[in-house]
Each structure stands twice: as structure tokens, then as C-alpha cells.
Amino acid sequence: MEQELREIVRKLLEEGAIEYFIGYAEGFEPLHTTPCFIERGEQVQALVWSPLCPYNLARYLHQMKNGAGKVGLVVKGCDARAIVELVKGNQIQRERVVVVGIPCQGQVDLAKLEDAFEGVEAVEGKGDTFLVTVGEKVHSVEKERLLREKCFSCRHPISFEYDFVLGEMSPLVYGSESEFAMVEELERLPVEERRAFWRAQFERCIRCYACRDICYACYCQECIFESKAPRWLEKTTTPLDNQTYHLIRAWHMVGRCIDCGECERVCPVGIPLRRLYKKVEKEVEQLFDYRAGMRVEDLPPLVTFAAEEPALSSRQDRSER
């Protein structure tokens, strides 16, 4: 698959079809790949692919706003949802992006991998297993043991037209649990306990903004958290400030979060952000029967108005009772 990808990219670059290509390259150690920008045909050997490529490269399409040319990138099925949303949000023009779909067979959770093995040199997906190379030994591990949490609710855009695909783009199907189970578990708690849960999580926040900066959807020219006049939020990290930060961001994700899970992956202090955004996703789905990133034609619920919002009016009835 790597070889096929390299050939496509080489061709695209040599024909002048794109200015550069965004892909994955080897990182500083076997467990870390890193994004790379390929500008010339001879650089394509740097491109790699493995279950250790978590980055949603669509985030780098923000940089396209200043240019006029075309850009190519490789996406996993889940990442393609970001492209759908960027097109919807008028951040990119679909025709300026050459999208190479790569059939992902699940991504590895580094923490789980490190707990299970030391000195891992490579990981490869094979059917229902990951092949983990440690020294001369190759361990075959059931995927379920090492998968990233988000891969259990793997879901692709239904109608995405890739420019190239390196195989069949079909979602992984794993686990029988509802994808909102972790949200529902919290919802069952009394409100005080829920509040205490999130307070404890947010208290740890160091407001490095990695969760915002890695988010494909955070493309505002001026982020509300950086506005000087009015200043909505100071750099102070009191529990209230941190909570304000996370709740405002959660609201801004309404109808936009594609559950790429990157925010949670990059949080250095381990805040379970996916749970927060999953809650937002669940509400949107229940109220508006809408899921972000599936089809370019779908109108985001917060920019449309229906005189009869069935889900909303039934809520109102409930609250009036």
C-alpha cells in the first residue's frame, strides 16, 4: 500500500497536479510517525503507512487558505469527514484538494501498546490482529486489545468521493456497545457527581490549547479565547476559567465534531475530552438526526431553521410539564 501511495504522489507532483502532498513519515522512534510535506517526486520514499498514524492530516488544510494551488493528502476514512466539513464551512474548495483514501484497519492506542510491550519496533494490521514486532519476535495480538477507543465506533462518510483509494474504504466494525455508552454512563450519575467528575478533569487542564490547535474545526481567524476586546477569558487557570474554556469549546463543536479523537489523544494531562464531545454529538444526533462530516449536502442544524423542530418542541413539552 505504501508503494502504491508513493507512486500516486510521485505522479501527482511530477505532473504538476498538486503543489505538495501531506502524508505520514517515520518519526523519531518506531512508535511515532510524524506528518510530512512532500514537495518533490524524489521525496516520496519518506511516505509510510501503519496503524501508528493517528494524525488527522486534514487539519493542515487550514494552511491552504492563503494559496491558490492544489494540495494532496492521505486520509483515513474517519479523517475524510473533516474534509466534508471544511468544504461545508467554505474553508476549502473540494476541487483544490486531491484526496487519497487509505483503508485503515484500526489505529493503535499508544498507551495500551506501551502497557503490553516494551521495545516495540513495528506494528502492522492483519485481519483481526495487530502484528507487533519486538526484537526478533512477532506477536499477534487481537485488535480489540490495542485499538484506539474511537476505532470502536468507526464510521465513514457515506458519500465521500476520494480521488484515489488504496483499497476498499470500509468502516471497521468492533464491539457491540453503543458508541455513546461512555456518555450514558455519566448521564446516569446524579448531577453533583457529574459536575465533580468534570471539575476534577478540568482542574488538571494547563490550557496549552493543544486540543483546540489540533482540531480540524478550529479555523476561526480570531479565536474567542484570544480576543482582546472584549476579553472573554484570561490566561488564568482557575477551575472556573478552565471549565469556561472547555464548555465554550464544546458549544462551538455542536454539529461540527467528527469524533476524530485527536483532542483527547494530544491532551498531555489526560482529560477525557472525547467524552465531552461525544455528549455534544449525541445531543445533536437526537435532536436533529444529524451527524457531522457525512455528506457535503447535509446542512448543519445550527445554520438552518425549521418552523417545526420536532425534537426541540417535544423537549419543550417535557420541560413545561
Partner 1 sequence: MIKKAHLTQWLDRVAQGYDLFGPVLDGVVQFERVNSSDQLVFDYANSVVPPKNLFLPQTECLFAFRREEGSIILEPRGGLERERVLFGIRPCDARSLLLLDEVFNSDLEDTYYQEKRRGTILIGLACPSPPQRTCFCTSLGIDPLSPEGVDVLLTDLGDRYLVEVTTEKGEELVGLSQELFFPSAEGEKLKGEKGKSLEEVGEKIGSLWEDGYWRELSRRCLGCGVCTYLCPTCHCFDLTDVGSTLSGKRFRCWDSCMFADFTRMAGGVNPRPTGKERVRQRYFDKFSYFPEQYGVLGCVGCGRCSQYCPMGIDIRTIINEVIARGAK
Partner 2 sequence: MSSNIYLPHLATIIEIEAQTPDTTMLRVTLDDPTLAQSFTYRPGQFAELSIFGVGECPISIASTPTRKGFLEFCVRAVGQVTNALHELDVGSKIGVRGPYGNPFPLSELEGRNLLFIGGGIGLAPLRSLINYVLDNRDHYGEVELIYGARSPQDLAFKDELKLWDEQEGVTVYLTVDRGDERWRGPVGFVPSFLREIAPSPQEKVAFTCGPPIMIKLVMEALEEMGFPPDHMVTTLEMKMKCGVGKCGRCNIGSRYICRDGPVFTLEQLKALPGGLEL
Q: List interacting residues with partner 1 (CB under 8 A).
A: 27-29, 31-37, 55, 59-60, 63, 201, 204, 206-210, 212-214, 226, 234-238, 262, 265-266, 268-271
Q: In which residue are the cell numbers 467528575 written?
A: 197
- The minimum distance between CB 224 and partner 2, in angstroms, equals 17
- Residues in 89-108 at the binding interface with partner 2, rule: CB under 8 A: none
Q: Which stretch binds partner 2 (CB under 8 A): 203-211, 226-234, 303-311, 313-321?
A: 226-234
- C-alpha separations of 127 from 103, 131, 172 in Å: 12, 10, 11
- Look up residue 167 and give its DSSP letter: S
Round to whole Å and give the CA distance between 34 and 23. 9
- Asked if 191 is part of the footprint of partner 2 (rule: CB under 8 A), the reply reads no
- Asked if 235 is part of the footprint of partner 2 (rule: CB under 8 A), the reply reads no
Element holding 75 (H helix, E strand): strand 71-75
- The minimum distance between CB 236 and partner 2, in angstroms, equals 13
- Helices and strands in the chain: count of H runs, count of E runs: 11, 8
- Nearest to 80, CA basis, from 176, 170, 185: 170
Out of 191, 229, 303, 306, the only residue in the binding site for partner 2 (CB under 8 A) is: 229
- The minimum distance between CB 85 and partner 2, in angstroms, equals 35
- Nearest to 246, CA basis, from 284, 200, 282, 288: 200
47 — phi, psi (to 5°)?
-70, 130
- Nearest to 243, CA basis, from 266, 271, 280: 271
- The minimum distance between CB 120 and partner 1, in angstroms, equals 10
Nearer Cβ to partner 2 (228/321)? 228
49 binds, among partner 2, partner 1, none (CB under 5 to 8 A by kind): none
Nearer Cβ to partner 2 (185/234)? 234
Q: Which three cell numbers stand for residue 48?
A: 509510510
- The minimum distance between CB 241 and partner 1, in angstroms, equals 8
226 binds, among partner 2, partner 1, none (CB under 5 to 8 A by kind): partner 1
- Asked if 236 is part of the footprint of partner 2 (rule: CB under 8 A), the reply reads no
Q: In which residue are the cell numbers 450514558 written?
A: 184
Residues found near partner 2 in the complex (CB under 8 A): 228-229, 231
